[in-house]
A and B are shown apart, each in its own frame.
Chain A
Amino acid sequence: NAGVTQTPKFRILKIGQSMTLQCAQDMNHNYMYWYRQDPGMGLKLIYYSVGAGITDKGEVPNGYNVSRSTTEDFPLRLELAAPSQTSVYFCASSRNSYEQYFGPGTRLTVT
């Protein structure tokens, strides 16, 4: 099993551009999550999903959108990128909302 995969690993965006961060898992997990991590601030939940077709906002959803059309994929969309969205983004999945498995992360810089 590949576990949780994320693409791209690194990306530089200009202010106002859009992009989609990809996340996929092959463990048949129902729960999937997107976090952002800023230095010294821990992990902040952006959006999460408890199953295909169901998504919900986390702590910091503004400026982001998600969709969950399949169990495996949970892409995160950034519209109109802003410098405040410079961060490391982690996708995670879990079987039963307990132990979470994290992907390797995407380092995004918005300039």
Chain B
Amino acid sequence: GQQVMQIPQYQHVQEGEDFTTYCNSSTTLSNIQWYKQRPGGHPVFLIQLVKSGEVKKQKRLTFQFGEAKKNSSLHITATQTTDVGTYFCAVHLTGANSKLTFGKGITLSVRP
């Protein structure tokens, strides 16, 4: 069925390295959201992308929506220990505008 894929589920980086993760769908998306969940915390909304090819930046985080609106990327420049957590993408599936479907997330750990 229709879903969003986030692979891998875990990634470990050295502090200061860049990090990129992707969210992929088999179907065209109307929009995509990204959330961050710190260890022991709750998901917090980061960004929403709507337009094809859209790029948005938040300090060291860069979010991009693919040209075909089937994938999205999150890039973190020069990771810091404060970036530790799980990053989820979330989408509205076809015919389900009232609810979000979340990917399984990628858990980022940063070695100081």
Contact = CB atoms under 8 A, between A and B. Distances in A.
Interface of A: 31, 33, 35, 40-43, 45, 48, 50, 56, 58, 90, 92, 97-105
Contact of A90 (B42, B45, B48, B104): B42
Interface residues of B, number: 22
B99 A45 contact: yes
Main secondary structure of the interface of B (DSSP, over half): loop
B66 interface: no
A98 B33 contact: yes
B105 A100 contact: no
Given A98-B33, A99-B33, A42 B102 contact: yes
Contact of B42 (A33, A45, A97, A105): A105
A43 B102 contact: yes
Contacts of B35: 100
B48 A99 contact: yes
B105 A42 contact: yes
A48 B99 contact: yes
